[in-house]
Amino acid sequence: MFQISNKVVLVTGATGALGGAVAKAYGYQGAKVVMTARNEAKLKELVDEFTADGIESAYIAADLALEADVKKAVLFCVETYGELNILGVFHGFNKPKDILEQTVDEWQHIMDADLRSVYMVCKCAAEQMVKQGKGGKILITSSARSRMGMKGYTGYCASKGGCDIMAQSMACDLAPYHINVNTINPTVFRSDLTEWMFDPESAVYKNFLKRLPIGRLGEVEDFIGLCTFLVSPAADFLTGGNYDATGGYWGN
């Protein structure tokens, strides 16, 4: 029920902490993994690392804010491995600013990176899956912030809230073609960008723990199981869901 061996997976944002970890997890489970991001040097490093571990993988550098690059990435996936079965969306951007300081262009940049680009890559991947006639799985990384506002996050929260409802709507559109669409909504997890938040003596860390019943922030390993489950046959009946990966934050 949980096997994804021999499935062809396209992972966006593969050079990020979560995208890279999930891409490797999919590869260890026997999937053929195509990774995309803007940093070609980092993508090549990942493919070399995956190849050394016996993972069948390939990469294509692309800026998913550009529709032409989105189409190029999906086409590369199909040309390389013959089809596309699973799309994992792990790219994103945020630059926190108070609404009184953030320009409209800065707000729009967040929306383009976190919502418009997600729509484009899901649309292009879905078109390919429909053409194949075999169904498929689309998994989008949203955020705990999709339901809970935060100072300085007017762009990010808006984009992730839109992402959740967009996934629900896409799920309705694509269900007749046996394509499932879901989001995972993680809390803060460890990465190069968030490492400073994991200092147990810091006020930021202590404040976060007050809102996390599980008693700690997230590690990338915490999300691999959920990301595998939602693209496996075990989740064939699950679509249009926004899956809580917040350590209890949503229920607190």
Q: Which residues are catalytic?
A: 156
Nearest to 164 by CA among 186, 185, 189, 149: 185
Length, in residues, of the chain: 252
Contact predicate 124/72, CB 8 Å: no
Query: What phi and psi values does residue 57 have, to the nearest 5 degrees?
Result: -150, 165
Nearest to 94 by CA among 41, 52, 152: 152
Q: Cβ neighbours of residue 26 under 8 Å, at least 6 residues apart?
A: 4, 9, 11, 33, 86, 88, 228, 231
Residue 92 tokens read as: 């994103």
- Residues 83 and 7: their CA atoms lie apart, in Å, by 9
Query: What phi and psi values does residue 14 have, to the nearest 5 degrees?
Result: -70, -20
Would you tell me how many other CB atoms lie within 10 Å of the CB of residue 109? 16
Determine the 3-state secondary structure of 86 from DSSP.
strand
Query: What phi and psi values does residue 46 have, to the nearest 5 degrees?
Result: -65, -45
